[in-house]
Amino acid sequence: MIRLGIPGLILSLWFLMAVTGPFLPLHPERIDLVNILTGPGLNEALGYDDLGRPVLDRLLLGASTSFFVAFWVVTISVVIGTFVGTFSAYIGGYVDQVVVRIIDIFLAFPGILLAIALSGIMGPGIENVVVALSIVGWVGFARLARAQTLSLKHREHVVAAVSLGTVQRKIIVRHLFPLISAPLIIEATFGIASVVIAEAGLSFLGLGVQPPDASWGSMIRDGARYMLVAPHMVLAPGIALMLVVLSVNLLGDRLRDWMDVKGRSVVKK
């Protein structure tokens, strides 16, 4: 089994914050100009932000935004990417050629421009951020899934399954997915991190989460402006983001090792 440990704990906390956040008695939007940039103290554990709003409350609210964006973007990207990549490689021929060209075009296209353009066309807002980032995000997974499938297509057990006349779908699900899932999961863990950061980048251009809502990314962006005078504003979301990304990646690592062992035993049989 995978050891969950502290990373597991942190991620559970993240999840818990994301799910319960909207129901807690928080005041993430209460502006109190007297408290602008007041540092952490007895009344407020993490201090106040540039509008005198409690940073802790906003951190909890931001947890759910960032979770929502990361979860949906990565899920959508992985599903679409894996599906397209695997089938394209498996089917091969002209279909594959076309898919590869499309993937290439998307990869060669600067992602930030695509995201800006899409957000501009659809209007700002967190749902549109999910769509924009998914449109950019699926390509990486598709490419990886395709490469993996190509290299596995010729592995003994797949060739064997084909020659035994196994149904295609079954080959893909039974023999390909388990083997390509490991690198995809690793890619997905990195994906969570980069999605959270990309969301912040769009917020930076005003296309992400709209005020007064908060995401960790937008909090870091705002906080960086006041770094000289109120470091707590940028430290709190920065550390939260770092812990989550770190935990996701550590768990991803453990998952990979675990799958590696399993995968190898299958092949060596």
Partner 1 sequence: MLVSALLSSCAKQPDDAIRFGLSSAPISLDPRFATDAASARLNRLLYHRLVDFDDSSRPIPSLASWEALTPVHYRFSLKENGRQFQNSRFQKNKSLSTADVKATYDYILKSENASPHRASISLIRDIRVVDEDTIDFYLDRPDPLFPGYLVIGILPAEAVQSGRKFDRMSMGSGEFSFLDWPEDGLIRLKRRSDNQIFEFIHVGDATVRVLKLLRGEIDLLQNDLPRELVSYLEKQDGHKVVHRGGSNFTYIGFNTQDPVLKIDGVRQAIAYAINRDEIIKYVMGGKTRKANALLPPDHWAGNPSLQAYEYNPGRARELLSKLGYNVDQPLSITYKTSSDPFRIRIATIIQQQLAEVGIKVDLRSYDWATFYGDIKEGRFQMYSLSWVGIKSPDIFRYVFHSTAVPPAGANRGRYNNSKVDQLIEQAEKGVDQAERAEVYRKLQEELLMTLPYVPLWYEEHFYAAASSIDGYTLAVDGNYDGLIYVHRTQ
Partner 2 sequence: MLNFLFTRLLSALIVMFGVMCMVFFLIHLVPGDPVDMMLGESARLADREAMRVALGLDQPLLVQLQQYFVNLTQFDLGTSLHSRRPISEMLLERLPATLELAIAALVVAVAIAFPLGVIAAIRKDTLWDRGAMSFSLIGMSIPNFWMGPVLILVFSLWLGWFPVSGRDGIGSLVLPAITLGTALAAVLSRMVRSTLLEVLNEDYIRTARAKGLSESSVVLKHGLRNALLPVITLLGLQLGVLLGGAVITETVFSWPGIGKLTIEAILKRDYPVVQACVLLISLAYVFVNVMTDLVYAWVDPRIRTGGKA
- Residues with Cβ within 8 Å of residue 127, at least 6 apart in sequence: none
Residues lying near partner 1 in the complex (CB under 8 A)? 29, 31, 33-34, 36-37, 50-52, 116, 120, 123-125, 205-207, 210-212, 221-222, 224-230
Select from partner 1, partner 2, none the partner in contact with residue 190, using the beta carbon and a kind-dependent cut-off of 5 to 8 Å. partner 2
d(CA 51, CA 49): 5
Alpha-carbon distances, residue 167 vs 24, 100, 137, 163, 174 (angstroms): 51, 25, 30, 10, 10
Select from partner 1, partner 2, none the partner in contact with residue 105, using the beta carbon and a kind-dependent cut-off of 5 to 8 Å. partner 2
Question: What tokens appear for 182 in the block?
Answer: 């490991």
* Structural contact between residues 53 and 30, judged by C-beta atoms closer than 8 angstroms: yes
CB of 110 to partner 2, least distance (A): 5
**SS3 of 110, please?**
coil
* Structural contact between residues 212 and 62, judged by C-beta atoms closer than 8 angstroms: no
Select from partner 2, partner 1, none the partner in contact with residue 79, using the beta carbon and a kind-dependent cut-off of 5 to 8 Å. none
Select from partner 2, partner 1, none the partner in contact with residue 8, using the beta carbon and a kind-dependent cut-off of 5 to 8 Å. none
54 backbone dihedrals φ, ψ, rounded to 5°: -65, 125
d(CA 225, CA 157): 56
Residues lying near partner 2 in the complex (CB under 8 A)? 92, 97, 100-102, 104-105, 107-110, 112-114, 116-117, 120-121, 150, 153-154, 190, 193, 197, 200-201, 204-205, 217, 220-221, 224, 227-228, 234, 238, 241-242, 245-246, 249-250, 253
Select from partner 2, partner 1, none the partner in contact with residue 107, using the beta carbon and a kind-dependent cut-off of 5 to 8 Å. partner 2
Closer CB to partner 2, residue 52 or residue 238? 238
Taken as a whole, the chain contains a residue count of 269
Could you please report the per-residue DSSP string of 185-254?
HHHHHHHHHHHHHHHHHHHHTT-SSPTT---HHHHHHHHHHTTTT-THHHHHHHHHHHHHHHHHHHHHHH
Beta bridge partners of 54: 48
Select from partner 1, partner 2, none the partner in contact with residue 31, using the beta carbon and a kind-dependent cut-off of 5 to 8 Å. partner 1
Closer CB to partner 1, residue 69 or residue 259? 69
CB of 222 to partner 2, least distance (A): 11
Closer CB to partner 2, residue 35 or residue 144? 144
CB of 177 to partner 2, least distance (A): 20
Closer CB to partner 2, residue 26 or residue 116? 116
Closer CB to partner 1, residue 38 or residue 149? 38
